[in-house]
Amino acid sequence: MLANKMFDLIKNDLAELEVALQEAVSAPEKVITEIGTHLVKSGGKRLRPAIYFLAARCGEKFSLQEAMPLGVALEMMHMASLVHDDVIDSAATRRGSATANAKWGNQISILAGDYLFAKAFALVAESNYSKRVDRQLARLICDLSSGELIQNKEIYHASCDVDEYFERIAKKTANFIAIACQLGGDVAKLPEGYIQALYDFGYNVGMAFQLTDDLLDLTSDAKTLGKPAGNDILQGIVTLPAIRALEISPDRDELRQIVTDRNMTPEMVQRALEIVRASDGIEFTRKKVEEFLEGAVAALPEEMPEEIRESYRMIVSFVGGRKF
């Protein structure tokens, strides 16, 4: 319910976004249109463009036509990164649909991801945004891929460094949502301080979003999640709850052995989940989520129109309470 209500204000923007996305992935090459259509139809929360449209509506006048290409570009970049992620993780399904790699193979999926990235840049370059927008988008993808690179380099390493972990998820997730929010302010020609506040809001929401993702992987079940719990551990990705358990659990040596084992069995994953759940790793992470969500609400500027602030507050509640 909340998931629908929080986007009430921009219902029309998001409906038009779907049309524009479909158009953006349509190309003379049949295979591009096929893959693109599959990706658009597979859905998603459209969180990045939603946060962007809300910010863009904070200005004195708002033109959906002017704002749209950047909204489309943000979602396409997200899509492109998911396509490459799914190749990297050999994932077969996402959101209940077959992944591009499952349907078309790795080779075509790598190229389709490249195409979507480039098409997103093209959409923005062909519109009348400032050079700053191009800069932000390019930086965003640099950060996104370097965040993923570090994560990949660190798999099956039992790192215990909370700061390093925060830095990595900032690059991988929070920065993207922050820039989506900031770009809305940019397009709305808001003052610098306002734009900075929007960035801060997005950053805090993004950090909380990634941490709840990490929590869900440990606390949810296969039915709700669409994939088995403990998937991160299985893939060698050590998230905050496990980092905390590696620091304070009496069974930390056993946990360390499991998470660094590339030949981990499902039984070992179960045991790792037990150890993490028995530690205060989950509580510790929930507290961090709360802190970031409070940070997000605190960042919302006074000048923000009340109905937009209310939508952003609903997004904060949604992230705090999400079960999927």
| Site residues (vs its own copies, CB under 8 A) | 27, 29, 31-32, 81, 84, 87-88, 106-108, 110-115, 117-119, 121-122, 124-126, 131, 134-135, 137-142, 144-146, 148-150, 152-153
Min separation Cβ 156 and its own copies, Å: 12
3-class SS string, 153-174: HCCCCCCCCHHHHHHHHHHHHH
Min separation Cβ 175 and its own copies, Å: 13
Of 57 and 119, CB closest to its own copies: 119
Number of C-beta neighbours around residue 79 at 10 A: 24
Distances (CA, A) of 51 to 198, 246, 308, 314: 10, 35, 10, 11
Asked if residue 309 lies in contact with residue 254, where contact means CB atoms within 8 angstroms, the answer is no
Q: What is the rounded CA–CA span in Å between residue 241 and residue 202?
A: 23
Of 93 and 107, CB closest to its own copies: 107
Of 148 and 310, CB closest to its own copies: 148
Number of C-beta neighbours around residue 61 at 10 A: 8
Min separation Cβ 132 and its own copies, Å: 8
Distances (CA, A) of 65 to 113, 128, 261, 307: 26, 11, 51, 22
Radius of gyration of the chain (CA): 20
Min separation Cβ 80 and its own copies, Å: 8
Of 103 and 277, CB closest to its own copies: 103
Of 12 and 107, CB closest to its own copies: 107
Min separation Cβ 66 and its own copies, Å: 15
Which DSSP string corresponds to 88-154? HTT--EETTEE-HHHHH-HHHHHHHHHHHHHHHHHHHHTTT--HHHHHHHHHHHHHHHHHHHHHHHT
Min separation Cβ 20 and its own copies, Å: 17
Of 108 and 304, CB closest to its own copies: 108
Min separation Cβ 318 and its own copies, Å: 29
Asked if residue 207 lies in contact with residue 170, where contact means CB atoms within 8 angstroms, the answer is yes
Of 171 and 288, CB closest to its own copies: 171
Q: What is the rounded CA–CA span in Å between residue 252 and residue 310?
A: 43
The residue with tokens 């929007």 is 198
